[in-house]
Amino acid sequence: MFMLMSHNKYEPKILVCLLQFCERVLLSGAKPQQVGVPWLSGGLTTYYLELHRRVLLITHRNKSKEKDKKRTRTMSGFFGVTSLGPAQPIGCNLLSTLGVTSFSDNDFKKAFYTLADREGKINRIDVYECMTRTYGFEPMPEEINIFVSTMKLHEDGVLTWEEFSGGLKAIREKVKKIGKRATHYDSYKDYSDDLRKHARVKFGPMEVYKRPMTTAQAVGWHEEEVFIDRFPKQSCAETKYQDEVVKSGWIV
């Protein structure tokens, strides 16, 4: 199975399924022989890390291809007629306030040396774990893409602290230069639909914030209040009898 890692034709969906399967086995604490995969004995963690690196590589390549396709601009987009401001206003603000700009090199250094070997080096695939330990939460996808392109996480090799800190400086400069991208439309229909006031926000609170900001808050929509009528309207027996008589047609 380790030979599969050298092929670039491997489907991303199958890689994600294998990655989720390895996560379940690692979290359950079961041995590979117990789940019917004896070929993973002694190398499950290595196989999981290699799968994670391969998924990041394929995701980065696919996004770079999509960016190349979007470079073809229409005439209206060239003159800024269809520019309506940032497509993800909350995401743009979070990227500039959370993450690498909010933590110092000393914060990253503690997480770096917890993952480093005796020579003070870490594998490139461990950079994601270093980010998670420093932040205390999962980093944003936009920030992961910047780390992948800057530190070349899709390649094999190790990183020293000097190389890692130099990459952090370059990443901070990139984050500062990231502007609020304007929404680009290739059709007037999409442009007019977004101009309507009843258009819903594209990103809900569950997708923006990973966890509550304080212990007294909960992320998500408010639950609907259950209303119970304490004084329901009831008709007496005489009124019910009169209604039935009127319905039958005896009394006009």
Output the six-digit token pair for 243: 């209604």
Give dist(CA 197, CA 190) in Å, integer.
14
What is the predicted pLDDT for the residue at 67?
A: 57
187, amino acid identity: S
Q: Which residue has the higher pLDDT, 33 or 149?
A: 149
The CA-atom distances, in angstroms, between 154 and each of 48, 147, 172, 245, 249 are 15, 10, 20, 83, 84
238 pLDDT band, cuts 50/70/90, is: confident
- Please check the confidence at residue 130 and state whether its pLDDT lies above 80: yes
The CA-atom distances, in angstroms, between 19 and each of 11, 50, 68 are 12, 9, 28
Rg, Å, the chain Cα set:
28
Hey, which of 21-25, 86-90, 155-159 has the most confident mean pLDDT?
155-159
Give dist(CA 92, CA 175) in Å, integer.
10
- Please check the confidence at residue 135 and state whether its pLDDT lies above 60: yes
CB 176 within 8 A of CB 67: no
- Please check the confidence at residue 2 and state whether its pLDDT lies above 80: no
- Please check the confidence at residue 158 and state whether its pLDDT lies above 80: yes
Give dist(CA 219, CA 76) in Å, integer.
39
What is the predicted pLDDT for the residue at 191?
A: 75
What is the predicted pLDDT for the residue at 250?
A: 73
- Please check the confidence at residue 59 and state whether its pLDDT lies above 50: yes
What is the predicted pLDDT for the residue at 5?
A: 42
Give dist(CA 146, CA 149) in Å, integer.
5
43-57, 83-97, 99-113 — which is least confidently predicted?
83-97
Give dist(CA 126, CA 113) in Å, integer.
11
Read off the pLDDT of residues 11-33 as tens digits, 9 standing for 90 and up: 556 666 666 666 666 555 655 55
Give dist(CA 148, CA 57) in Å, integer.
8
What is the chain's mean pLDDT, rounded?
67
Domain boundaries, the chain: 1-69, 85-181
Read off the pLDDT of residues 174-213 as tens digits, 9 standing for 90 and up: 777 665 555 666 777 777 777 765 555 555 555 555 555 6
CATH assignment, 85-181: 1.10.238.10
The residue among 88, 103, 95 whose CA lies nearest residue 176 is: 95
The whole-angstrom distance between residue 176's C-alpha and the CA centroid of its chain comes to: 21
Buried/exposed code over 180-189 (b: 16+ C-beta within 10 A; e: otherwise): eeeebbeeee
CB 47 within 8 A of CB 155: no
Hey, which of 23-27, 47-51, 104-108, 143-147 has the most confident mean pLDDT?
104-108
Output the six-digit token pair for 28: 């359950």
